[in-house]
Homo-oligomer: A and B are copies of this chain.
Amino acid sequence: MYEFTAPFQSPSGSPIRELFKYLAEPGMISFAGGYPASDLFDVDGLQQASARAYQDTSQCLQYGPTDGLPRLKHELINLMARRGVPCAPSEMVVTTGSQQGLDLLLRVLLNPGDVALTEQPAYPATLQALRLQQANIVTIPVDAHGLDVDYLATLLASGTVAHPKLLYTVPTFANPTGATITRERRIALLKLAVQYEFVLVEDDPYGDLRFSGETVPSILSLAAEVPGSRDWVVHFASLSKIVAPGLRVGWTIASAEIARRCVIAKQTVDLCSAPWTQAIAAEYLADGALERHLPRITAMYGRKCEALCDALQLQLGDALQFHRPEGGMFVWARLNAAGSGGASGMDASALLQRAIENKVMFVPGNAFFADKVDAASLRLSFAAPGIADIEEGVRRLKRAYGA
């Protein structure tokens, strides 16, 4: 038998994917997934885009350029311009979902032992990717307004941490916390990136999914206000949450030199992302279908979020604390140390076991911590279940909690 000694020492896999086995149970209501709602896909619009794309079969069926089909890049550049970010083709790499963008970037930037800063709690696949690159992960706490930039500034000024190569954040409707970093904190982050010379990694799959409150510009777009900062920002975006994950179309925006190195790494990694789905995405965007479809998704996610938060407040208001997010797919909650009438001091993992018995699921917060685990926290996604299931799911959660 092969003796595994390679650096990749995480044979247990994603803690969230481990939960998937319960999804198949009949009648299960899941707040666990990070999947968008299948019933909100623009089935007709994508079918039409697919038919148009196939008119150029060679583009769909042959190998494509490693950095992405030019036609798709053209449409994505237009999309970024509508989001307030001018960018050149040389600054953009199309990837197999934004997940691949992160993997390529880490391979290009990190040596084993390099310090990588990340918000905490954080997206677990990012933690796993950092571990795969043998990064030295240093966590920065998050509050209701996103990453605690004062804490970060103090840490950097103290000199107690070796020079960080990068900082990773999902600044808008974060996974898992749903929080959005304020504009002021974004500017401060950009200044710190310039001062301490680290790459500021903005992962932005949810930014378009705002259903309340006022838009906060992306970190990348705010780079225009902080001299010298643009080259330090790497921005990941994706069609997975706003069009369909099945396309596997994400993109990276970075300085031309970082983008160039990511493209070279991608030559080795998979030559190119599926040209056929890239061509479909290009047609979908060129048609303006995204602009027509987005209001429908965001309105429905807003209603689902409201249903979840209202039900949590009503059924478990004494047992849980949470903030109402203004967009995205996630509510982050903490179990009170002593809920009124419930099992006081229960942690989220114990609650999950009882929840599964009651045919409802969520993700315990421990999946999102690299260190200093908050065992009382949990993530609930409102994206996939319907309104009635959301309300029934929270009633089951209440039964599981014993309140």
* A residues lining the B interface (CB < 8 Å): 1-2, 4-8, 10-14, 17, 35-36, 38, 41, 43, 46-47, 50, 54, 57-64, 66, 95-97, 99-100, 103, 107-111, 125, 128-129, 132, 197, 199, 231-232, 240, 244-248, 255, 257-258, 260-261, 263-265, 267-277, 280
Given known A1-B257, A97-B271, A270-B99, contact A132–B265 (CB-CB < 8 A)? yes
Q: Find the residue from A5, A8, A109, A261 having the highest chain B CB count within 10 A.
A: A8
Q: Is the CB of B6 within 8 A of A270?
A: no
A36 to chain B, nearest CB (A): 8
Chain B residues, Cβ within 8 Å of A17: 66, 267
List residues of chain B with CB within 8 A of the CB of A264.
Answer: 8, 10-14
Among B5, B97, B274, contact of A247 (Cβ-Cβ < 8 Å): B274
Task: Give A14 to B10 CA distance when docked, in angstroms.
Answer: 31
One of B7, B36, B125 near A267 (C-beta < 8 A): B125
Contact A43 B62 (CB under 8 A): no
Across-interface contacts of A95 in B (CB, < 8 A): 270
Cα(A319)–Cα(B248), bound, Å: 48
On chain B, the residues within 8 Å of A232 by CB distance are 2
Q: Which of B4, B270, B276 contacts A100 (CB 8 A)?
A: B270
**Distance A341 CA – B7 CA, assembled complex (angstroms):** 56
Given contacts A274-B276, A277-B277, 18 further A-B contacts (CB under 8 A): A4-B108, A4-B109, A6-B111, A8-B108, A8-B265, A43-B57, A46-B61, A61-B247, A97-B270, A99-B269, A99-B270, A99-B271, A100-B269, A128-B267, A246-B275, A247-B274, A248-B275, A276-B276
Are A246's CB and B2's CB within 8 A? no
A47 lies within 8 A of B54 (CB)? yes
Residue pairs across A and B with Cβ atoms less than 8 A apart, 13 shown, are A1-B231, A2-B231, A17-B267, A36-B62, A60-B246, A61-B244, A63-B246, A97-B270, A103-B269, A128-B267, A132-B265, A274-B277, A276-B277
Within the complex, which residue of B35, B58, B125 is in contact with A268, where a contact is CB–CB below 8 Å? B125
Report whether A41 and B14 are in contact in the complex, using a CB–CB cutoff of 8 Å. no
Output the least CB separation between A353 and chain B (Å).
24
Query: Top 6 closest A-B pairs, CB basis?
Result: A61-B244, A61-B246, A96-B270, A274-B274, A248-B274, A246-B275
Residues of B within 8 A of A246 (CB): 59-64, 274-276
- Kindly provide the distance from the CB of A192 to the nearest chain B CB, expressed in whole angstroms: 15
Q: How far is the CB of A29 from chain B (nearest CB, A)?
A: 18
Contacts known (A263-B13, A265-B132); A38 close to B50, Cβ less than 8 A? no
CA distance A257 to B4 in the complex (A): 10
**Are B58 and A38 neighbours in the complex by a CB distance under 8 Å?**
yes
Minimal beta-carbon separation of A213 from chain B (angstroms): 28
- The answer to whether B261 touches A8 (Cβ under 8 A) is yes
Residue of B nearest to A261 (CB): B11
Closest to A54 in B: B47
Report which of B43, B50, B260 forms a contact with A50, defined as CB distance below 8 A: B50
Q: For the complex, give the distance between the alpha carbons of A272 and B273 in Å.
A: 11
